[in-house]
Amino acid sequence: MKGVILSAGLGSRFGLHTSEEHKLLLRINDRPIIDYTLRSFQKAGIVEVVLVVGFMADRIRGWVGDGSSYGLNVQYAFNPDYKLGNALSLRRAHDFTNDEAFILSMGDHMISSELINNVMEFCPNYQPSVLGVDFNPSLRYAEDVTRVLVGAGERISSIGKHIEKWNGIDSGVFRLSSEIFEVVDEWIGLDKSERYELGDVFAYMISQGGILKSCDISDCYWYDVDTLEDLQHLQTRFIHPDE
């Protein structure tokens, strides 16, 4: 199975820190954020990875290179419209996936190989989309989070940042088939907004009868590095499970 890591965003919530350096190259324990994600993919046995880049793309390419230092084969896809949302970044990975199932992760989510493995191995003969869901999130995720409502049969019936009824949160790690690219194209063709976010893509898919299953990753390590406060927290008290 291949891996897709979305790494194109501005990281605007970091202010001046990301005017001089890419968010994913900011350091925790003297190692850039992107290193932890890449090492977790390698430890999970996924060695073919594409980084979708945009903002400061050359900085990411310059640091990661061909991925050999991580035990990976890293390729790159460039999203020139990186300011318009991460759904457009996923779209750029289509050629790399070669219509095979793949694991998708957000580049700014510190994730463990255990989490990746759980999502990858969830109902291995099951084809529809799967999302790693945390049913026991910490209080820090109470506000700015993509929420999900999971019902019978582990099926997600609702997803979004502002849904009022929910019982879990989106970890940012998915197992997807090539059909997701058709959904993205269809939704972008219909939507007239100025931003194209994955949460909205999956909400649209569900509304059209598509299936998004939940894989319980509540006991796995993950941390969304969304703000400068998140970064500072990790810099003072961080031990990654894959170290």
Q: Per-residue pLDDT tens for 57-116? A: 999 999 999 999 999 999 999 999 999 999 999 999 999 998 899 999 999 889 999 999
**What share of the chain in percent tops pLDDT 90?**
68
Counting Cβ atoms within 10 Å, is residue 186 exposed (0-12), middle (13-18) or buried (19+)?
Answer: middle
Q: Give the pLDDT confidence score for residue 230 in this predicted structure.
A: 78
Q: Give the pLDDT confidence score for residue 18 in this predicted structure.
A: 56
- Give the N- to C-terminal CA distance of the chain in Å, as an integer: 23
Dist. CA 41–CA 229, nearest whole Å:
26
pLDDT at 175 over 60: yes
Span 9-26, average pLDDT: 70
Cα 76 to chain centroid, rounded: 16
The tens digit of pLDDT for each residue in 202-242 reads 999 999 999 999 999 999 999 888 777 777 777 777 667 77
Q: H-helix or E-strand containing 78?
A: strand 73-78
132: confidence class by pLDDT, cuts 50, 70, 90: very high
Q: Are strands 222-224 and 109-111 parallel, antiparallel or unpaired?
A: antiparallel
15: confidence class by pLDDT, cuts 50, 70, 90: low
Span 171-192, average pLDDT: 92
48 within 8 A of 159, measured Cβ to Cβ? no
Give the number of C-alpha atoms closer than 13 A to the C-alpha of residue 243, restricted to the C-beta side.
11
Dist. CA 71–CA 58, nearest whole Å:
21
Q: Is 65 left (phi over 0), alpha (psi -120 to 50) or beta?
A: left
Span 177-181, average pLDDT: 94
169 within 8 A of 146, measured Cβ to Cβ? yes
**Helix residue ranges per DSSP H, 44-172:** 57-64, 86-91, 94-97, 113-121
Span 7-19, average pLDDT: 64
Q: Extract the tokens encoding 90.
A: 């996923």
85 within 8 A of 64, measured Cβ to Cβ? no
Q: Give the pLDDT confidence score for residue 148 in this predicted structure.
A: 96
Q: Pick from 85, 107, 104: which is nearest to 173 by CA?
A: 104
DSSP type of residue 155? B
Residue indicated by tokens 């796995």: 220
Q: Give the pLDDT confidence score for residue 127 in this predicted structure.
A: 78
DSSP string spanning 36-63?
A: HHHHHHHHTT--EEEEEEBTBHHHHHHH
